[in-house]
Each structure stands twice: as structure tokens, then as C-alpha cells.
Amino acid sequence: MKRQYDDTFFYIAPSEPPPSRRPPIVEVGPIGWLRRNLFSSKINSLATIFTGVVILGFLYMVLSWSIRTAQWAVVYNNLRMLTSGTYDRRETWRLEVVAGALVFLTGLGLGIWARVARSVFIAVLVSLAVIIIVPIVSAYIPEPTIHILLRPSKTPPNFVFVGLAGQEVTVRLEPQTDPADVDAPLLGFVEQKSRVDWSTLARQVHDGKADLADYNMQFTLRVLDNRLRPLMTDEGPVQAVFDAENPGGTLTFTLPADDWYVLEVTRDDTSEPVGYAWLRIDNVEVFSSQEDLAQRRADRFGDPPEVDNALFAEEKAYRFEGARSFKQFLSLQLAPLFSRLAVPLLIGALLFVDGWVIGVLGKADKRVRRGALIGWALAFPFSIIVLRGFEGSRLLPLVDSGQWGGLLLTVLLTVVGITASFPIGVALALGRRSNLPVVKWTCTIFIETVRGVPLITVLFMAKLIVPFFWSALTDIDLTVRMMIGLTLFSAAYLAENVRGGLQIIPKGQIEAARALGLNPFLTTTLIVLPQALRAVIPAIVGQFISLFKDTSLVALVGLFELVGIVGLIVKGQPIYRPYQREAYIFVAIIYFVISYAMSDISRRLETSGAGSVRRL
């Protein structure tokens, strides 16, 4: 039924429009948020719970492993290898100079041309604070004990350690007379060799094959000083006897000076030893066997005493056993890493802030801007010259690129790859769209060929095949050949990304430019490329990130970049062989952090300047 309107039906708006109001506020507490986003329906709730359980379980596993079990010593004792490979130790200052210069320039550049989001600053500050605070706090966490297994058949070792004046050391003998003790969790550093014996014994006790009931060992413990004289106190020499009447006990003593000490363990051979026992030493440090640390120790404490059957409190001989507490994770794993990182990072942060402040304050000054530009233009040649040096130079002796490794090499390969492949990629993309058939087909064939083969074949080609055909290339060192290989590979992919960007530029843009009298070169560089490149920033950065990760493939060709260096570390120091996992995880974390930073920067680039404005 159609409604009927009569003359009296009309509407006229009041002459004044109503005042604008704010939109209504919808109340959403945390519960409302949860309900709306996580538990909006039965299926969604299930999905939320399922994913939540999976994520939490995974996190729990990862964290509990890395806190309780993982041995990060392979990382913190090899930071130098990881950062610069086999770069000449005496020349490390050159790396530091280059890194410092680059950090300063980065700060300067960001200060002048970019706005650094506050969240980035806060994140950096918090990380720095953590890195500084953890080692300080962990100094107050006592060292875990050291366990030495005393075997019935072997002469007990003489334990050699360094101690500080006033340090109170406790030694305990813990005979294994009780089968239940076998299962007791050990926590601390256990002599590496003995761990196996111990598990065997544990199994035997468990299976009832070994009877520890008639434990019969007699030991005399004495503490000797650097010159192997017994350590004296007011009450006489520091020593203790453990025998059948006194099977387990404690010996506590205070060290008189900063020096080397020996804990001498002698067994009374008249007794018939049948059982095993742990000698447990509290409050003595397991010291690092790193060469430079050993050197520092020798400088401070002198040479270690010469005793027979010596067992040094070196990490080479010990392994941490048992589930670590979080405190111990802090003091044993994080603190050594952070204390090694703290100073370089602090200096880096200071340089960065310096640069940044100069940049922000001098933004308007033409000289500052020009200085920054010149600095960046010179950064690369400067770095290479400083890193490589010259043959026969005294200040900068030659460090062959074969010695460059670790993160240094990874970054170098990436930077060279990116800077060289970018112009080549753009040129290839333009060439592929060229009207000249020869140019066009050359570019197309190159791009398609390179994209059609795996990177590793390109690298092997650069290593083996190219010098075979073209003998002039044999003399170019492997690192440079890898750079060329990576660059060409990356350029081909980049060309396709750029071509995608070129295709979306409307014809009208080119016509407008031509109608204004711009020649083809100006049209391309001023109108087409800026728009095309901006449109494909995500793809280009993605390409650069994969280039960064792909540099790891040069490990297969014989260069020791970040991934390859782990193999070298383990090969050179077999004690770290069981901990490759930790090393590779650390490497993965570095890759992730850098990749994430790159994609974050690209996201910021996309939305800066004209990119933030709605497009035509």
C-alpha cells in the first residue's frame, strides 16, 4: 500500500546546523577486549586457546633450555671470531675505528634527514641499561661449586686455582655411600672426564651392581701456596683428614693474598679404595682458558705453580651440570656476554648520540649537511682502505681479505651487494624496457638466466668456472669474486622488482614530463624512477634482506662469514663441539635482529615524505 502524503507533510531543517559532537565512546575494559578479539565465538575461542598453548609451550621450551641447559660460553668466548673472523688480533683497532666512524655517520645522518621514533630510542636505552646492569648485579651472585670425582683406581688430582685476598673457600668431601645420593642433582662445574664415569657408576648403583656400602677411602687435603708451601693459619696448616670415622666433612679457609693456590689431595694407600666420592669446592672461579684472559691472569698473578698431576680450574676441564637457576644463568651466561659487549656498545651509543645531536642541531646549516654527505660518500672507500691496509705499510699493514670473517664479512658482502646491485638492477630494468632490441635482449637474457639458477651455482661459478675460462680473474681473491657473484645475482632479482615499479607509472606522467620539454634522461631520473622505486620499496628491501641472508652461502665456498665462522671455531677449539647449537642460535639471533631492523626501516621509509600522502 502506498502511503499518502497531504500538503501538511513537509520538513525544513532549522536554519542553524546542529553543533558538531564527538563520537560516542564505547566502553571496552580488558574483559570486553578479550571477549571481542579472542573469544568472540566457540571456534575462535578454541583457536585462541590452541594457538596460545602452542606458543606458550614453545616459548617455555626455548626459554627453559636457554636458561637452564644451554652453554653460551662458545658465544661469549668467541665474540671476536664471530665479529671479525681471523682478522689479525693486533689490528683490531682498525675495526673499531671503522665501526665507530660508521656509527657516528649513522647518527649524523639520522639527525639531519630522519626523525627517530621515540620507541626506538627507548628500546635502545633499555637494552643498554640491561647490558650494563646484568654484569654488575651478577657480581653479587656466588659462583657455583666445582665438583671433582675421586675415583678408587686413580691418583687424585692437585687442583690449581687463583684466589683473592680475603676470599673464603670451602672444600667438602661427599662420599657416595648412599644409592639415593647418586640421583641427587649436581649443580656446578664437573670435571669433564668424570661425568661419564659418574653416569656409569650411577647406572650401576641403580641396577644394584655396585655396592657403595663399604666405602673405604682415606684422604688428606692440604692447601699449598704458590711456592708449594703449606698454607698456615694461627692454628697451624690448613688441612683436613677424611677417613672411615670421618667420611665426609668440610674444610673452610680464608686466602691471605691474591695468588695461585693448590689444593693437594693425597690418598692413604693403605686403605682399600672401593667407592667414589665427590670433592666439592665452593667459591672458586672457573677461569676462562681464552688466550688473552690467560695472559691477563699471568700478568696479575704470575705463572702458575708447577705441580704433578695438576688440574687447572679452567673451563676446558669443566662443564656445567644440572639445571641452572635464573640467578646462575645471569651470572654464568649473560654476565660474561654482556660484560664483553658493554664497553663497545656504550662507546658506540655515545658516538651515535654525538652524531645525532650534531645532526639535529646543525640540520639547517649547509656545512653540516655537506659534511654528512661527504662523510657518507667517503665511508665505504675509507672503511675498505683502513680494513685492508697496504703492503709494507707500518701503520696499516696489509690484512688480506682472506682473513676477514664473521659479522664483518657478512656485513661487507651485504653492503657491497646492495650498493653495487642497486644501480645495476635499475639499469637492467630500464634496459629491459628499452626500445633498442640489442640492449633489450641482452638485459632480458641476463636477468632470466641468473634468475633461473640457484645462487650457490653462481657462487661456485664465480669460484671455479669463471677463472677457468678467463685466467685474468684467477688472481682476484675469493672474497671479491663472491661479491661479484652476489651482486650479479641480486641485481637480476632487483631488476624484476624495479620493472614492476616502472610498469605502474601511468603513461600520463611521462607525457607530462615530455610536454614540459624534459629529455628522456631527465624524465626517467626525475619523474619515473622516484615514483617507481618508492612503489617497490617493500620488494626491494625484501630483496636486500634475502641478499643479507644469502651471504651465508659463501660459507660453502670456503669463506668464514657469520655462519662459516662457527665451523671454524668448533674446529679450532674442540671443547666447544658440543655447543654448536648455541653458536648457531646466536648467529640466527644476529641475522634476525639485522633483518628486522632493515624491514622496520623500510616500513618507515614507505610512510615518510610524499609516501604518506594519498596518491593520485
Partner 1 sequence: MAENQAEKQNAEEPIIICEEVNKWYGNFHVLKDVSLEVMPQEVVVIIGPSGSGKSTFIRCINRLEEHQEGHIIVDGIELSHDVRNIAAIRSEIGMVFQQFNLFPHLTVLDNITLAPRYVRRMPRRDAEEIALELLDRVGIPDQARKYPGQLSGGQQQRVAIARALAMQPKIMLFDEPTSALDPEMIKEVLDVMKELAETGMTMLVVTHEMGFAREVADRIVLFDEGRIVEMGTPEHFFTNPQHERTKLFLSQIL
Beta strands 188-191; 277-282: pairing state: unpaired
What is the Cα–Cα distance from 116 to 138, expressed in whole angstroms?
33
Torsion, Cα 144 327 569 393, to 10 degrees, reads -100
- Between 129 and 526, name the residue whose CB sits nearer to partner 1: 526
**CB of 224 within 8 A of CB of 308?**
no
3-state secondary structure (DSSP) of residue 277: strand
Give min distance, CB of 115 to partner 1, in A: 18
**Residue 516 makes contact with partner 1 by CB under 8 A:** yes
**Residue 364 makes contact with partner 1 by CB under 8 A:** no
Region of 24-32, 526-534, 555-563, 598-606 interacting with partner 1 (CB under 8 A): 526-534
- Find the binder of partner 1 among 125, 526, 588, 593 (CB under 8 A): 526
**Residue 519 makes contact with partner 1 by CB under 8 A:** yes
Give min distance, CB of 510 to partner 1, in A: 9
Q: What is the DSSP string of 73-99?
A: HHHHTSHHHHHHBT--GGGHHHHHHHH
Give min distance, CB of 515 to partner 1, in A: 4
- Between 118 and 614, name the residue whose CB sits nearer to partner 1: 614
Alpha helix stretches (DSSP H) within 402-506: 406-432, 437-451, 455-460, 466-469, 478-503
Read off the C-alpha cell for 231. 698454607
**Residue 540 makes contact with partner 1 by CB under 8 A:** no
What is the Cα–Cα distance from 541 to 267, expressed in whole angstroms?
68
CB atoms within 10 A of CB 464: 11
**CB of 217 within 8 A of CB of 269?**
no
What is the Cα–Cα distance from 420 to 412, expressed in whole angstroms?
12
- The position carrying cell 570486553 is 32
What residues from 75 to 94 belong to the interface with partner 1 (CB under 8 A)? none
What residues from 395 to 424 belong to the interface with partner 1 (CB under 8 A)? none
**Residue 426 makes contact with partner 1 by CB under 8 A:** no
**CB of 587 within 8 A of CB of 577?**
no
- Find the binder of partner 1 among 512, 556, 588, 589 (CB under 8 A): 512
| Phi, psi (deg, nearest 5) at residue 497 | -60, -45
Give min distance, CB of 433 to partner 1, in A: 19
**Residue 436 makes contact with partner 1 by CB under 8 A:** no
**Residue 511 makes contact with partner 1 by CB under 8 A:** yes
Region of 163-171, 302-310, 505-513, 583-591 interacting with partner 1 (CB under 8 A): 505-513
**Residue 192 makes contact with partner 1 by CB under 8 A:** no
**Residue 515 makes contact with partner 1 by CB under 8 A:** yes
**Residue 366 makes contact with partner 1 by CB under 8 A:** no
What is the Cα–Cα distance from 309 to 99, expressed in whole angstroms?
46
**Residue 527 makes contact with partner 1 by CB under 8 A:** yes
Region of 302-310, 351-359, 494-502, 506-514 interacting with partner 1 (CB under 8 A): 506-514
What is the Cα–Cα distance from 259 to 478, expressed in whole angstroms?
49
- Find the binder of partner 1 among 534, 599, 602, 605 (CB under 8 A): 534
Binding footprint of partner 1 on the chain (CB under 8 A)? 506, 508-509, 511-519, 522, 526-527, 530-531, 534, 610, 613-616
